[in-house]
Amino acid sequence: MEIKEVLKELLLEDKTLIHMPFGNGNCDFNKSIVLSWVFILVVFILILIFTHNMKVHNISKRQAAVEGFVLWIRGLAVGMLGEEGKDYATYIISVLVFLACSNVMGLFGVVPPTMDLNVTVALALVSIVMVEVAGIRSKGVKGWAKAFAQPMAVIAPMNVLELAIRPLSLCMRLFGNILGATVIMELLKHLIPVGFPVPFSLYFDIFDGLIQAYVFVFLTSLYIKEAVE
Amino acid sequence: MLNVNLWNILWTVVNLLILYFLIKKFLFGRVDEILEKRRAEVEEASKAADEMIEEAKKAKAEYQQRIELADEEKEQILADIKKQGYDEYERIVGEARKKGEQIVTEARHNAEVENERAKEVYAAQLADMVVEAASKIAATKHSTAQDRELYDKFINEAGAGK
């Protein structure tokens, strides 16, 4: 019975954090949005601290680490996107940072923003828009439209369907994984509150969170790479 | 649990764009600026180094040329000095030879003059003897035998006086 209450509390809680006096509830801010603001602020402050006072010569260890990190993560993104899609590396890295931060928020005892379907839907929509924009930019509108009929005209309907399937799968996969991980963690914490959940938290909050962020980004880059080829 | 509303989706998109902007501007922008500066500096340094090498090569070639010129000049000077030396030698030897010849000529001349003088002295003595003999002959009556004796005596005297 207690477990049922825990689940109910977790899954059916009111996600709204800030109520707006207008819009009849449609303009309220969810917790996930406010949490995103929090981690964006944290990331911004970290970036400012780490890129503060950068020099060309006699660099500090901090700067060396930042430069190494930037080159590494960009290499990672370009590696997934391919040379032709490297213009989108910054976008891919932004999504990666966004998701990585969101997914590991469970560590701090809050519900991860990615457990809100609104967030994953938004990310999936932005990603599919980016994919199609990339296709149009590299092939032109005509080439982009023609690409639906490749490799043969018969599968054109499938390719059109993919427009909807891809973002749907992206957002549902992410949402489901984070939801599952959070639910399991809540149950474990409910079962044995001290010590026992730590190794599981390592897996579900950190490892799974980062893996899901990587998967989302990897698939998006794969789609972009396919679109620009 | 599964309620979706446009407002929150929009805000998530805005959040993502904000994050994109922050990363692009403050992380990549600053790091890229430094990397670009460093790359430019390295390029400049390597260009400067290339220029220096080029300059050094030029200088080396110039010095080599100069050394070659100096060698040539040295040869020239040596040759000149040798020639000068030979000339001087020739001049000295020639002068010495001339002087020698002059001395020989002078000596010969002196000898001739001496000879002449001796001859003159001899001739004068001879003349005296002849005069003496003639006067002796003239002073004494004499036979052919006596004359012959006298001539012989005279000749002997002349030969001895010689």
What is the residue extent of each domain of chain B? 8-125
Cα gap A179→A173, rounded to integer Å: 10
Closest Cα in chain B, distance from residue A80 (Å): 18
Instruction: Please report the residues numbered 135 through 174 in chain A whose beta carbons come closer than 8 angstroms to any beta carbon of chain B.
Output: none
Most confidently predicted of A72-81, A100-109, A190-199, B149-158 = A72-81
The two tokens of residue A135 are 């296709």
Closest Cα in chain B, distance from residue A154 (Å): 35
Mean of pLDDT values over B17-27: 92
pTM of the model as a whole: 0.71
Instruction: For strands A16-18 and A29-30, give the pairing.
Output: antiparallel
Cα gap A144→A139, rounded to integer Å: 6
Q: What would you report as the CA-atom Rg of chain A, rounded to the nearest whole angstrom?
A: 21
Among all residues of chain A, which has the CA nearest to that of B10? A122
**């780490």: which residue's tokens?**
A50
pLDDT by residue (tens digit) across B65-108?
999 999 999 999 999 999 999 999 999 999 999 999 999 999 99
The two tokens of residue B15 are 């959040």
**């994050």: which residue's tokens?**
B19
The answer to whether A90 contacts chain B (CB < 8 Å) is yes
pLDDT by residue (tens digit) across A208-225?
999 999 999 999 999 999
* Torsion angle defined by CA atoms of residues B102, B107, B108 and B113, in that order, rounded to the nearest 10 degrees: 130
pLDDT by residue (tens digit) across A119-168?
899 999 999 999 999 999 988 898 888 888 877 888 888 888 988 899 89
User: Which of A24, A51, A86, A105 should be substituted to probe chain B, the one whose Cβ sees the most B Cβ atoms within 10 Å?
Assistant: A51
Across the interface, do A91 and B4 touch by the CB < 8 Å criterion? no
Question: Burial of A108 by CB count in 10 Å (0-12 exposed, 13-18 middle, 19+ buried)?
Answer: exposed
Q: What would you report as the CA-atom Rg of chain B, rounded to the nearest whole angstrom?
A: 63
Across the interface, do B26 and A44 touch by the CB < 8 Å criterion? yes
Across the interface, do B23 and A125 touch by the CB < 8 Å criterion? no
Is residue A51 within 8 Å of A65, Cβ to Cβ? no
Tell me the domain boundaries of chain A: 3-228
Given this model, what pLDDT does residue B162 score? Answer: 52
* Chain B residues touching residue A126 (CB < 8 angstroms): 13, 16
Across the interface, do B15 and A70 touch by the CB < 8 Å criterion? no
The answer to whether B10 contacts chain A (CB < 8 Å) is yes
Is residue A102 within 8 Å of A116, Cβ to Cβ? no
Given this model, what pLDDT does residue B154 score? Answer: 78
pLDDT by residue (tens digit) across A103-126?
888 888 788 888 888 889 999 999
The count of other CB atoms within 10 Å of the CB of residue B16 is: 23
Across the interface, do A28 and B7 touch by the CB < 8 Å criterion? yes
Cα gap A66→A72, rounded to integer Å: 10
Nearest to A40 among B7, B8, B19 (CB): B19
The two tokens of residue A161 are 């369907």
Cα gap B161→A31, rounded to integer Å: 170
Among all residues of chain A, which has the CA nearest to that of B31? A67
Nearest to B19 among A23, A33, A94 (CB): A94
Q: What is the ipTM of this complex?
A: 0.87
Across the interface, do A44 and B22 touch by the CB < 8 Å criterion? yes
Is residue A95 within 8 Å of B16, Cβ to Cβ? yes
Given this model, what pLDDT does residue A3 score? Answer: 76
HSE (CB half, 13 Å, CA atoms) of B81?
Answer: 6
Across the interface, do B28 and A43 touch by the CB < 8 Å criterion? no
Across the interface, do A51 and B30 touch by the CB < 8 Å criterion? yes
